[in-house]
Structure 1
Amino acid sequence: MKRSHSQQITIGLGLALALLVANTVVSYRNTLKLISNQRLVTHTQQVLIELEATLSTLKDAETGQRGYLITGEKRYLQPYESAVDKINRQINSLKQLTADNPNQQQRVFALENAIALKLTELAQTVKLRREKGFDAAQQVVQSDRGKQIMDNIRADIADMENIETQLLQQRTQESQAKLQETLLTFSIAAAINLALLALVYYLFRLNHRQSKQEEERLRQNNEQLTLALDAGKMGSWDWNLQTNEVLWTIYHEIIFGYEPGKPNRSYKEWADRVHPEDLPKVEALVQASVKNQQDFHAEYRVVCSDNSLHWVTAFGRFQRDAENRPIRMVGVLSDITERKQTEAKIIQLNETLEQRVLERTTQLEEANEELQAFAYSVSHDLRAPLRAMQGFAEALLEDYEDILDELGKEYATRIVTSAQRLENLIQDLLAYSRLSRSDLQLKVIDLTTIMSEAMTQLEAEIEQTQAQVNIQSPLPKAIAHRATLVQVITNLLTNAMKFVDDGVSPQIKVWAEIHGECVRLWVEDNGIGIAREHQKRIFRVFERLHGMETYPGTGIGLAIVRKGIDRMGGCVGVESQLGQGSRFWIELRRGE
């Protein structure tokens, strides 16, 4: 009879151990899945953070470029250059983070191309500002191209963020579900452990050796559970609500900054570590979970013994007695300090971004006011003494012609001529400045009518130079600003009549071609031509290839052509060889 009873106990022990092993395996697998899900959640958050940081860096690059564009000071290029270097690293980081998602990886490559296009556009404006000045660069900035590129980048990033947000929600839900399963299996494991301990104690009285073996197996099972939690950097607790005693795992103690190894801890030891500002909220959540019979979830700060702060997220589940009263809470927690710090950095970036934009906008406005003041000074303060000098020199020639000798007359004539050249230069500078600041209303214009107006304005010069102008009419329509286009064509025709060899009558040919949605107007001459290495220089302000004595002018005429065409959304160019004439062209959008 005694032997039969021992066999029954042995069989019961075997079944309990099998159940414990099975539950341990399930718990271990659930824990591994939970760890995997948590890593996926963290991974998705990293992608979102990197996307926000990439957009913020690109805005910094754009803001630095604009600051340099307005002020011309190299110190504004420092944030721009830093942002350019940084954004390449961020793109590489996004490639690595999205390596597990082919669709997002393709979007990253598309984003990389769009950002490269934007950086090219920014670099071009910086180069234009450095080489051609504020007006040339500002024209590019005021075009819609840069804004469209930036809008496309924002849209691409927003699409990627929406996808990652959906993944984050899905993975978070999966993690919570897996956590609940893990808590349930842990609770079952704890109950099985208690039952096994009682059974082992009973069997110890029957067979000491057999009891020792079972205790060793229990120890190994507990180590496996602890190992799984430590692998996921998660701590667990078992809180007895009746005695206020708490069982902690080692990683739980590490997070809270306690020396590991104390067998029984208390609720007070836990509360002493919770940040005083967070403790009432966490305790309220515990009471609400008890009252509503719900699982416990909270995020709060922990103050360690060295006064360092850690953020943790905790999940707990209550065990109840026969009368449905909670008697213990079993749960897990993990350190989320790094995630909280990253979120704080993002919030700080968003808060400071608006202030930086406001400050730099104020700087741009001040620079614009200085430019307007300079234009006013040139228009009024500089021209007044110039006219006085010119007037007095002309009065000398008229009223004192009989008194002055030939050298005196020559000096007075030179004063009049130099004053007139300076007046022309001021007029051209003001015209160039107005093109940069004026608001051009574009509309459909007939190029035939524009050519007629330009020819009327140049009647005297055409007659003086005996120029022959052949216009292949009718010319198509284009989208432009009437007065600006007349000035551009007048400058091109004047240029064609001016730069010819002595004794040669200017022969000018004007025609138009259709290129898709654009109209290209050609002005061909039989002049002296332009060497290939100088063909880009001639459109810059004050760029002259010949002396004033050989070919008069201010060196701004073709710069006005370039500025006017840029303001109208077009482009300009030249085809030429020395001694074989030149063919200038302007291209504008085609008018219906």
Structure 2
Amino acid sequence: MKKSLTKQITAGIGLALTLLIANAAISYHHTQKILENERWVSHTHRVLTALEATLSTLKDAETGQRGYLLTGEERYLEPYQRAIASINEQFANLQQLTTNNYPQQQQLRKLKRAIDSKLAEIQETIELRRSRNLEAALRVVKTGRGKQIMGGIRQQVAAMTEAENRLLQLRSEESQASINTAMLTFTAATLADLLLMAVVYYLVKRDRTLRDREEKQQNQLLEQLDRDRQSLALTEERFRRAILDAPLPIMLHAQDGEILQINRAWTELSGYEHSEIPTIEDWTEKAYGNRKSLVQADIDRLHQLNDRVSEGEYIILTASGETQIWDFYSAHLGKLSDGRSLVISTAIDVTARKQAEAEIRMLNTTLERRVEVRTAQLQAANDELEAFTYTVAHDLRAPLRGMQGLAEALLEDYRDNLDDLGQEYAQQIVNSSEQLEELIQDLLDYSRLGTADLPLQIVELDYAVGEAVKRLKTEIEKRHAQISIRSPLPAAIAHPVTLIQVIVNSIGNAIKFVEGREPQVQVWAEEIEIPIGGVGETETAREWERAGAPVGAVPPCPPPSPIVGVGENAELPVTASEKTIASCPLPAKQSVFG
């Protein structure tokens, strides 16, 4: 058996070496052929490049001819002179490159005659322009002979280019075929070598595998028995520790009333050791007193069940005399080896929760009264604030209307006596009075912010910022401030008057808090991401729809604490009572103010 195996291995190795040597020889042959094909492909590319260069040189000569004929200046002949100097060298290069191609040599002889004719025609026109005048040269050009010669040259170059392209395609195909053949041969030989090596490896491993298999099977059986024994011991230890160290009270008891195990949590909460309550009867007598028989009957029924059961809450008496409330859960664990039924019972101490529930019920009885008293106090404060606001607004309106009326009368009766600046001042008094009238009305609305919602609508921020700048015109001119607005600004959902006033305050503060130089204020809008959610989300969606937004478009308006930034490093928080003037990203890069 060993001699036969050795002969098989030797034969396999010899055959593999033979295939490797043959593969190397074939690969070398195909590699040489690929290199030869690549040299011819490169040679064809050089021929194509030389043809393009020759045609380009003739075009340069024509360019120099046209420039000289039009201007008569010798400097325009530079392209022509460079072409004359290089055309013969380029043509000689073409002849050398196509030495082994007889058809192309014939085409080159025709091309040479055509090039000489074209250069002679160019030289003739140049000499006529130089010795006589432009008209004499143009008569030669208008005969069309030069154009006809150049057309023939292009056709000959195109024919030669097409022939070289056919050669290039043929040589590329031959090169690719050689590559494919080399790859196929190499792959086949390599696969054969790998197959032979696999056979040799199989023969070597087969004998070893047969000898080791029986020994391995025996060792595996022994190891499996040992693992099963250890796993069983580990499982029993884990189960015991899970029972003993569990955070909830746990008891294991048999059908005849014997308590097999209680854990540490049971002992810590009840105060009873296992030795003090070895049976269910002992446990019920100590923990339940005169209710012992009722609880005993409930526990006996557990051994007749097969599913997990919630027994409910029981009041127990601990060893220290303390009363606790435990919520019991039990499950049937099957039968012991002696045939007795085994049940596991767990409990949750809910004493603290029951006490907290009692306290909550007691607090709820007085909560409504405290809410009513607090509501009445808040309503009284709001009524006083509204009354005060109405009084202040009434006192402000009287002189304001007088000032506004006098300014309007001045414009109506004495307009002709005022120059343009005076009329502008008077008109600004009227406009400022109207704005102050709006602010007084807004002051009244502000007093009702705690009890009424601000009506929202879609507002163009370009309009709102423009109105704010108009109101600050005097201050801007006084401080020589420069206001830069990055338009277009997005649309917003807002209370228009409040939004304009917020922008006025922000820009005004930005102007005021710049010292020692002219204020430069920039106003822009940018989109930020704010987490969605929070109280008020549903109501904001309703305002969004009432303002004319598409049905189903819900604006992401969480309750943020926004920062409105205007001016040079100015970040001004703007709030109104408990309602925040905020912005949130909207579809189409809009913002919501609410």
Larger radius of gyration between Structure 1 and Structure 2:
2
TM-score, with normalisation over the residues of structure 2? Answer: 0.32
TM-score, with normalisation over the residues of structure 1? Answer: 0.32
